[in-house]
DNA sequence: TTGTATGCGTTATCAT
DNA sequence: ATGATAACGCATACAA
């Protein structure tokens, strides 16, 4: 009944044997197409055709049924590795994220995984912690795995050369973080407008001394936000204090650091702050609280992303919504069309930001 | 210089050709071991040995260097599919999670990915949304991918049969959610003690009318928490109102629903509530706030997991810490030892919970 | 409609 | 220390 039993040993790969570890015994009794074919009384090629979704029409209904039945009875599961070797498709897509700890990434991953799953592809997940060295290694690994495509949310400007090279080998899609001028397909988000929305909201409330806590340099999303915010503030004749510092990841801790720097800078403190993402905003609020500065009474704070729970913190955070799930979904769809070799009319999608007003912003006191 | 150029066409798999989509051109100029061998002037078998970490000692230093140089120059990247087919190892581990949207899962995934990466394995990620049907499909897919092992955080009691079957085919490790009596290796967490700690904390504050908002049934973690909490409460002679309802995922929304049910139940409301995880706790607090019930003044709330940001919400949440990163790391290490076929003295690790007291709990008013 | 033959890229065995 | 060779499981061009 089982391949392992009816077959000579010779150079058979290790996993095909019943293996014994401490307590566990694995019956990796690999049922192959050959076993199915034998049981159905046909040739492997016929069995292959019968079980292949798009070739099964080439085989007579009755024999097809025999084959399918045999496969069922034996519990046959195609060997994707072998199939991949033969066809040049592995059914996997590499997914590269900068920081798995960022709550923003959950919905994005769900969007990706769900969409890939509908097409029977599986995501291989990797994290770079926003280190270029890690990105390089990770790309190598994914390429060695012969993934059918790659989606990355971890591209910095400095990675442009690397990613362009990767894009020549395999369909590559940038998600969240664009790399303008690279020509690499991207599903991103209009960060400039997002920054502008944040500024206009604060200006509309009457603020004139603003500041922004900038995310890591070298990353398009943050540069766009900075630019949109700064320009809108200056256009209104208000002042904008840019707090930038070489932080690597835009975390709560980074938010605390930048907020501290802002306060320690001396001079008139601003009455409103734009943090380049929600976690940094939360860190900043915590620092303000520690220093006895009330939000929004003494200082207004705007975040970015609208991660889960931002509406539950105190005060609920005013922020710019970035639709993570949808973005992940679109990125996956885009990489799929490229994998299919189809033309895509929409190689660059820029999603619209939306201002979510909650309680962390208010008119200035004076 | 490149395989594609110097080789006859015949039945060559699709991906080996330069492929043209809308704007993009892929040069998947697959450099094979054969190319490297030719360039180095040796046989493929020698090249293989030279490049294999553990066999490279069998080859003379000078030839090894030639091979390595040739590989370098050609940009050779081993084809893992082919290697997998031959050796029976794919270098991938399946990771199954219930809900990618749960912030708790980020650290766990990081622990897993990091540990696997150290050993040059890659995680393949899947989500079940806690649906048994999805789990079954996902296992099939992973098995068809011939993953070297599987780590799952998504096992319910009803999945025991399925998972036991899976465990017979491939090293399987349960993470977070144990399946007592299944004999499947597990890295879990002492949920009973966790529940007890929550109860003792509240009892110690003087509460006598308690309630718990229970997570989905059929899942060990939640059953353990429920049991530990209930027993400790009863042992102290206090009353424990168990709010259970068939929710599927323990989300903010579920927390709201259960809290609403608790309030609408009539009779004396409890003065303290134990929610089976942090997101449910946050939902409950939101509902209480909507109803004008202050936390902790009118009612104390304890959560579970200590997800990121629980210390930033208002009031900062008292909770039971479950060390996600560490747990993921241990799960990955365990699956690695089983993949290596080594015996593991520690097939069942139960991590200790820790009470984190913040501001959402206080003595009852009366 | 089905069978035969071949090769995908790699590694293990055997022989040299 | 190295080379020749076969086989891993599958899918396709071609013949029947």
Going residue by residue through chain B (366 aa), what tens digit of pLDDT does each one get? 222 222 222 333 433 333 333 345 676 568 999 999 999 999 999 999 999 988 999 999 999 999 999 999 999 999 999 999 999 889 999 999 999 888 899 999 999 999 999 998 999 999 999 999 999 999 999 998 999 999 999 999 999 999 999 999 999 999 999 999 999 999 999 999 999 999 999 999 999 999 999 999 899 999 999 999 999 999 999 999 999 988 989 999 999 999 999 999 988 999 999 999 999 999 999 999 999 999 999 999 999 999 988 988 889 999 999 999 999 999 999 999 999 887 777 889 999 999 999 999 999 987
Q: Are residues A181 and A328 in the same domain?
A: yes
State, as a whole number of angstroms, the distance between the CA of B53 and the C1' of D9.
26
Are B185 and B106 part of one and the same domain?
yes
For residue B86, what are its two tokens? 């031959």
CATH number at residue A8: 1.10.260
**Please, which positions of strand D sit below 7 A from a protein CB?**
1-13
Residue B1: what pLDDT? 27
Residues facing strand C, Cβ within 7 A: A 11, 41-46, 49, 58-60, 62-64, 82, 85-86; B 3, 7, 10-13, 16, 30, 32-34, 44-45, 48, 51-52, 55, 76, 78-79, 82-83, 85-87
Looking at the fold, whether A167 and A238 belong to one and the same domain comes out as: no
Return the half-sphere exposure (C-beta side, CA atoms, 13 A cut-off) of residue B222.
26
Q: Which residue reads 């649906």 in tokens?
A: B131
Question: Between the CA of A79 and the C1' of D14, what is the distance in angstroms?
Answer: 25
CATH number (domain holding residue B146) = 3.40.50.2300
CB contact under 8 A, A117 and B126: yes
Q: What does the alpha-carbon distance between residue B83 and residue B89 come to, in Å, rounded to a whole number? A: 8
Residues in chain B: 366
On whether any CB of chain A is under 8 Å from the CB of B28, the answer is yes
**pLDDT on residue A1:** 26
Cβ distance B84 to B70 under 8 Å?
A: no
C-alpha separations of B122 from A95, A136, A340, B92, B242 in Å: 11, 15, 24, 5, 42
Instruction: Tell if the CB–CB gap between A103 and B102 is shorter than 8 Å.
Output: no
- Pairwise CB contact (< 8 Å): A125 & B124: yes
Q: Are residues A226 and A263 in the same domain?
A: yes
End position of a domain, from candidates A34, A52, A78: A78
Q: Is residue A360 part of a domain?
A: no
Report the number of distinct structural domains present in chain B.
3
State whether A124 and B125 contact (CB < 8 Å). Answer: yes
Which chain B residue is nearest to residue A93, measuring alpha carbons? B124
Q: CA B41, C1' C5: Å apart?
A: 31
pLDDT band at A24 (very low <50, low <70, confident <90, very high): low
Q: Are residue B281 and residue B195 in the same domain, yes or no?
A: yes
Q: pTM score, two decimals? A: 0.90
| A242: helix, strand or coil | strand
Q: Half-sphere exposure of residue B346, counting CA atoms within 13 Å on the CB side?
A: 13
Q: Is the CB of A91 under 7 A from strand D?
A: no
Nucleotide nearest to A12 (CA to C1'): D8
Tell me which residue has tokens 């990163």: B325
Q: Which candidate from B15, B126, B168 shows the least CB-CB separation from A89?
A: B15
Say whether both A64 and A109 belong to one domain.
no
Strand C: which positions are within 7 A of a protein CB?
A: 1-13
> What does the pLDDT read at residue B200?
98
Number of H helices, E strands in chain B: 12, 14
Same domain, A279 and A330: no
Q: What backbone phi and psi angles, to 5 degrees, belong to B289?
A: -60, -45
Q: What pLDDT is stored for residue B28 in this prediction?
A: 52
B133: its two tokens:
């049907």
- Domain extent, residue B25, equals 4-78
- Looking at the structure, tell me whether residues B202 and B278 fall in a common domain: yes
Same domain? For A290 and A177 the reply is no
Mean of pLDDT values over A298-304: 98
Residue B361 falls within a domain, yes or no? no
């Amino acid at each position: 009944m089982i391949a392992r039993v009816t077959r000579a040993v010779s150079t058979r790969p290790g996993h095909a044997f019943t293996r014994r570890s401490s307590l566990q015994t694995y019956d990796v009794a690999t049922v192959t197409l050959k076993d199915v074919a034998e049981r159905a009384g046909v040739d492997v090629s016929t069995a292959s055709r019968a079980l292949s979704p798009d070739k099964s029409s080439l085989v007579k209904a009755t024999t097809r049924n025999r084959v399918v039945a045999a496969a069922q009875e034996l519990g046959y599961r195609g060997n994707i590795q072998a199939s991949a070797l033969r066809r040049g498709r592995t059914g996997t897509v590499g997914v590269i994220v900068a920081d798995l700890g960022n709550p923003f990434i959950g919905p994005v991953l769900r969007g990706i995984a769900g969409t890939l799953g509908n097409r029977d592809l599986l995501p291989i997940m990797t994290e770079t912690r926003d280190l270029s060295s890690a990105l390089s290694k990770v790309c190598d690994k994914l390429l060695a795995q012969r993934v059918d495509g790659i989606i990355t949310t971890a591209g910095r400007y400095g990675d442009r050369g690397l990613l362009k090279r990767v894009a020549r080998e395999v369909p590559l899609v940038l998600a969240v973080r664009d790399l303008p001028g690279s020509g690499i397909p991207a599903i991103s988000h209009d960060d400039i407008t997002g920054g502008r929305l944040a500024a206009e909201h604060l200006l509309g409330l009457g603020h004139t001394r603003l500041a922004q806590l900038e995310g890591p340099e070298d990353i398009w999303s943050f540069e766009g936000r900075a630019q949109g915010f700064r320009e809108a503030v200056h256009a209104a004749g208000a002042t904008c204090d840019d707090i930038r510092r070489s932080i690597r990841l835009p975390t709560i801790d980074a938010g605390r650091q930048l907020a501290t720097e802002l306060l320690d800078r001396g001079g008139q403190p601003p009455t409103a702050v734009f943090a380049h993402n929600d976690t940094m905003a939360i860190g900043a609020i915590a620092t303000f609280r520690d220093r006895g500065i009330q939000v929004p009474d003494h200082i207004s704070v705007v975040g970015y992303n609208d991660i889960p729970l931002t509406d539950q913190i105190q005060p609920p955070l005013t922020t710019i919504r970035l639709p993570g799930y949808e973005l992940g979904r679109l990125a996956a769809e885009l990489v799929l069309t490229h994998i299919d070799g189809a033309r895509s009319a929409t190689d660059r999608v820029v999603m619209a930001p939306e201002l979510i007003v909650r309680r962390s912003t208010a008119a200035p006191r004076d």
